[in-house]
């Protein structure tokens, strides 16, 4: 079947990718630079029998999304900056309740209201650690409009397969750029649906994992009556403060992601076979990094690029595997502290030089910015 190709904005591709993945419920509150996702969903979801709800704020938005997912719908929301901060408590509920859902965070410059229309990549650590308590998270980061579509599909697949919330950490540049998108035909991309219980309603325990470490999930409103709480709970979903249960429960939330880590962590490499210097990038800065690496090669410097499609769990093994080939790593990112650079340093240790390219004033990192650091003696 011939693919349809159209000129599409990143946010539009995210909305269309969600619907391709089977999403049928969106609850959100418009906030720059994610608002086009809500706009697209308001038009597209009713056409496929879905539901679009504009809520009064981001707290209500993520609460509605969690409830819709527990009622059996593939559900998502989109936000940015302050809105993502407001969502943290209910995102913690989704982690604790093992609720499959997708949260789109189109990053913008902060802190607080900050530069509401300008790009940033400064939420990397908030995505990972924004909730209190021990928990894990899956987060993906697109660098192209095509990846906005395909990684949104992946985000839903991961959410449904592992019964977890997944964050798509885009940025304003990728969200607002327009590129040709060749749409996959229906059935061309794998679509995963959550595992449903095979036992009777009387036997069903919503948090009892099977051999794959994943518990089947029934739907509210069905013949299965079950309880979900943010408190520490046992197999049956009701509060259980026994220390042995708490230890098992926290470990289980981590274990089901750790067990499938190699399926979850995705990267791309460009010209890394003969490189002397490695550029590690994610999101929009990947584009500048690839251009800089090509220009560096024209100058006789063998540069390669590692693109992080998955930022959490962090791609430790993939970065470590490239370490023996290089002496220098350059990490461009649109934040002040080098949030990914610090993780790279942790993985590679003190014997490999990490050069940072940081931009935090609402403007983009250019290939020229990266080349200056590559050429630094």
Measured torsion, CA atoms of residues 196, 199, 200, 203, in degrees rounded to the nearest 10? -110
One domain, residues 252 and 273: no
One domain, residues 172 and 246: yes
Whichever domain contains 231, its CATH number is 3.40.50.970
Confidence at residue 89, expressed as pLDDT on a 0 to 100 scale:
97
Among candidate residues 283, 284, 330, the one with its CA nearest the CA of residue 304: 330
One domain, residues 283 and 365: yes
Confidence at residue 3, expressed as pLDDT on a 0 to 100 scale:
84
Domain boundary among 239, 264, 289: 264
**pLDDT above 90: residue 365:** yes
One domain, residues 255 and 275: no
One domain, residues 214 and 105: yes
- The 10s digit of each residue's pLDDT in 110-127 is 999 999 999 999 999 999
Domain boundary among 244, 264, 284: 264
One domain, residues 175 and 217: yes
One domain, residues 295 and 218: no
- What CA–CA distance (Å, rounded) separates 11 from 18? 11
Domain count, the chain: 2
- What CA–CA distance (Å, rounded) separates 125 from 139? 11
One domain, residues 174 and 144: yes
One domain, residues 260 and 274: no
Confidence at residue 2, expressed as pLDDT on a 0 to 100 scale:
74
Whichever domain contains 313, its CATH number is 3.40.50.920
CB 239 within 8 Å of CB 232? yes
CB 334 within 8 Å of CB 171? yes
- The 10s digit of each residue's pLDDT in 331-345 is 999 999 999 999 999
One domain, residues 130 and 273: no
- The 10s digit of each residue's pLDDT in 28-72 is 999 999 999 999 999 999 999 999 999 999 999 999 999 999 999
Q: What is the pTM for the complete model shown?
A: 0.97
pLDDT level of residue 182 (50, 70, 90 thresholds)? very high
Tell me the pLDDT of the chain averaged across its residues. 97
One domain, residues 17 and 150: yes
Q: State the residue range of the domain holding 362.
A: 269-375
One domain, residues 217 and 315: no
**pLDDT above 70: residue 241:** yes
Residue 217 phi, psi (nearest 5): -125, 120
Domain boundary among 218, 249, 264: 264
Neighbours of 145 (CB within 10 A): 23
**pLDDT above 90: residue 325:** no
pLDDT level of residue 377 (50, 70, 90 thresholds)? low
């Amino acid at each position: 079947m011939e693919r349809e190709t159209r000129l599409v904005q990143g946010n539009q591709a995210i909305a269309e990718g969600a619907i391709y993945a089977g999403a049928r419920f969106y609850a959100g509150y418009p906030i720059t630079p994610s608002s086009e996702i809500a706009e697209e969903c308001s038009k597209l979801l009713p056409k496929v029998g879905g539901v679009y709800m504009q809520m009064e704020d981001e707290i209500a938005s993520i609460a509605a999304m969690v409830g819709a997912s527990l009622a059996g719908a593939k559900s998502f929301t989109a936000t940015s900056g302050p809105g993502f901060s407001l969502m943290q408590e209910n995102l913690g509920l989704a982690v604790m309740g093992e609720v499959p859902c997708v949260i789109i965070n189109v990053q913008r410059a902060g802190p607080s209201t900050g530069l509401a229309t300008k790009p940033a990549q400064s939420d990397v650590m908030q995505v990972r650690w924004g909730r209190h308590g021990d928990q894990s998270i899956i987060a993906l980061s697109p660098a192209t409009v095509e990846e906005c579509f395909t990684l949104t599909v992946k985000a839903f697949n991961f959410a449904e397969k592992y019964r977890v919330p997944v964050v798509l950490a885009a940025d304003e540049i990728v969200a607002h750029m327009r590129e040709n998108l060749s749409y996959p035909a229906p059935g061309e991309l794998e679509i995963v649906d959550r595992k449903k219980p095979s036992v009777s309603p009387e036997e069903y325990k919503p948090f009892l994992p099977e051999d794959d470490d994943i518990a089947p999930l029934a739907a509210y409103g069905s013949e299965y009556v079950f309880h979900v709480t943010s408190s520490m709970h046992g197999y049956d979903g009701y509060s259980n403060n026994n220390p042995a249960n708490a230890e098992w429960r926290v470990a289980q939330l981590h274990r089901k992601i750790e067990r499938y880590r190699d399926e979850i962590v995705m990267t791309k490499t460009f010209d890394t076979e003969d490189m002397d210097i490695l550029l590690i990038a994610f999101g929009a800065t990947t584009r500048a990094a690839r251009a800089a690496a090509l220009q560096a090669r024209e100058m006789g410097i063998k540069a390669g690029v590692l693109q992080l499609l998955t930022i959490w769990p962090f791609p430790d093994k993939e970065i470590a595997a490239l370490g023996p080939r290089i002496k220098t790593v350059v990490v461009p990112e649109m934040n002040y502290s080098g949030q990914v650079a610090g993780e790279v340093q942790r993985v590679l240790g003190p014997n490999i030089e990490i050069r940072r390219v940081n931009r935090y004033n609402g403007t983009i990192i250019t290939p020229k910015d990266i080349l200056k650091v590559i050429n630094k003696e």
